[in-house]
Amino acid sequence: MKKGLLIFDIDGTLLKSETLHQAAFTKAMRAVGISDINTDWPSYRHHTDSFIFKENYVRSKKKIPDNASLEHFEEEMMRQLDHTAEVNEIKGARDFLTALAFREFAVCFATGSLRKPALYKLQKAGFSFREEVLATSNQHLSREAIVNHAIARAKRFYGQEKFGTMLSFGDGAWDLETAKNLDLSFVCVGPQAKGLLSQGADHHIRDFTGLSVDVLEKLTSRYA
């Protein structure tokens, strides 16, 4: 039995991939015929690939995209990412997740990215993970729905009806807002994310090198 569940965002939290993701995303939209693109990412109601693609698709083509259109766009994103030389981890992230595999915490991933790009980026950065605990924006437009899907996947994968504590890791204001909406404790990751403490984040780490499993156990015990 795992005593707690750790929910990880991917881009900007585990990977230094936000810039390359946004570049591939924008180029892929142009490749599928979307010319009028709003790149003010924080302005969107939902910070997910599927929602942002839908909003730009509707504005450009005056119709709602179907599943085939989203799949076509996802393949275009993969073509753009294929030109990426490397994807780097946030310092210490791989070792930290490897250590968790031998301890008492369950792990799942909840990302606003589409599924194939998310898998590609994790694999490119050398992460070992189980696809069964990955939830993406292919089926969901909102971050809240994606996180709930990740939690449900984790419950099935680990064979548990509930976890004693659930702790969410993210780097953006949208990650914190999602955690608040779902009543989850939140750890903000990265130097630029420290300001989220004043907005209600529970804890801040610069990267994963200073977060040992022992420290994590002490942190989660505060929320049990």
Give domain limits for the chain: 4-16+89-221, 18-81
Indicate whether 224 pLDDT > 60: no
163 CB-near residues (< 8 Å, 6+ apart): 2, 3, 4, 5, 106, 154, 155
Q: Tokens at residue 221, please?
A: 């015990």
Q: Which of 3-12, 128-137, 167-176, 207-216 has the lowest mean pLDDT?
A: 207-216
Q: What is the distance between the alpha carbons of residues 182 and 145, in angstroms, rounded to a whole number?
A: 10
- Positive or negative torsion for Cα 98, 101, 104, 109: positive
Pairing state between β 185-189 and 203-205 = parallel
Indicate whether 50 pLDDT > 80: yes
Q: Tokens at residue 72, please?
A: 């076509």
SS3 206: coil
* Model confidence pLDDT, tens digit, residues 151-192: 999 999 999 999 988 999 999 999 999 999 999 999 999 999
User: What integer pLDDT is reported at residue 129 of this predicted model?
Assistant: 87
Q: What are phi and psi of 54, to 5 degrees?
A: -60, -45
Q: Tokens at residue 94, please?
A: 């791989």
The arithmetic mean of pLDDT across residues 141-151, rounded, is 98
Indicate whether 125 pLDDT > 60: yes
Instruction: Tell which residue, 209, 21, 46, 48, has the closest CA to residue 122.
Output: 21
Q: What is the distance between the alpha carbons of residues 204 and 13, in angstroms, rounded to a whole number?
A: 12
Fold classified for 4-16+89-221: Rossmann fold (3.40.50)
User: What integer pLDDT is reported at residue 222 of this predicted model?
Assistant: 65
Q: What is the distance between the alpha carbons of residues 150 and 129, in angstroms, rounded to a whole number?
A: 14
pLDDT classification of 128: cutoffs 50, 70, 90:
confident
For residue 26, how far is the Cα from the chain centroid? 18
pLDDT classification of 15: cutoffs 50, 70, 90:
very high
